[in-house]
Amino acid sequence: MARRNSVRSPKPPEVLRISADGKVEIFCPNCGTRFRIFEAGIDTSVRCTVCENSFLPRNSTGKIAKGKDHTKVYVTFGLLVVVLVAGIAVLMNKKRTPESQPSAVAAAPSQSQKLELERKTRRDQVIKWGQSVAKGDIYLTREYSDIDGLCRLLGVNPKLPQAQLDKELMRALQQNNNTRALFDFDCNKGTLSDDAASNPTGRAVLILTPRTGDENYDRLASGELALDFKMEGSTVKVTNCTVLSLPLKRKGR
């Protein structure tokens, strides 16, 4: 009686599902990548071109391997995205909080600040008036002048033609005892009271100082010129001019 061989015979070819071109379909047991090889290489180890895993084709014919589980990677990435978005939202919200923005009360100037700003604006305008008179700048002089008031002060007919009126005003400003001081001294400073800075009419005082190089006066000498004005909108209009004092000459001069 013949002894039966205990070694199992190879898997029958028909089970391998050989295609018409003589190739067998296999799958990488590690990543599931599909390959097609000739039947002759079914028992020869191959290496996956994707994951570089080595495997025996016979053991993976007709089997689709379960690919790597990337669930943990996706979950981790998703959590990172959520944390990043939440962080950005917190930063944006913090920028919009009242603490990071100047309060309306702090931003609004106080009454004293408004008064000081108005004082400076009016003071600068009366200084410009005095300087424009000294330079003979009739256009700027008219800008900050109440023409009718100056005409009364200087004795000029306000109904003269414009060109003649301008000429007469500049001539009278140079000859008048009060305004003549503007041609003899510098006026770069001025003062206004609180009332003059807050009311529609008021008086400013220009500080008269000797011209640079004038040896007739001490460099610390000064005088005062009072200017009465009214407001037209936000513009000063000088109506009158009065000398309060003139810089004293040096002794012996």
pLDDT at 62 over 60: no
Alpha carbons 219 and 201: distance in angstroms, whole number = 33
Tokens of 96: 């919009």
Res 15: pLDDT: 58
Res 18: pLDDT: 75
| Domain match, 148 and 227 both | yes
Asked whether the beta carbons of 225 and 238 are under 8 A apart, the reply is no
CATH number at residue 185: 3.10.450
**Averaged pLDDT for residues 104-114:** 76
Alpha carbons 143 and 160: distance in angstroms, whole number = 18
Note down the domain range covering 200.
111-245
| Domain match, 56 and 146 both | no
Res 134: pLDDT: 92
Dihedral (CA of 170, 184, 134, 224) sign:
negative
| pLDDT-based confidence at residue 19 (cuts at 50, 70, 90) | confident
Alpha carbons 223 and 217: distance in angstroms, whole number = 11
> Structural domain tally of the chain?
2
Instruction: Write down the mean pLDDT value for the chain.
Output: 82
Res 114: pLDDT: 92
| Domain match, 52 and 123 both | no
| Domain match, 49 and 119 both | no
Beta bridge partners of 11: none
| pLDDT-based confidence at residue 73 (cuts at 50, 70, 90) | low
Lowest mean pLDDT among 34-38, 109-113, 135-139: 34-38
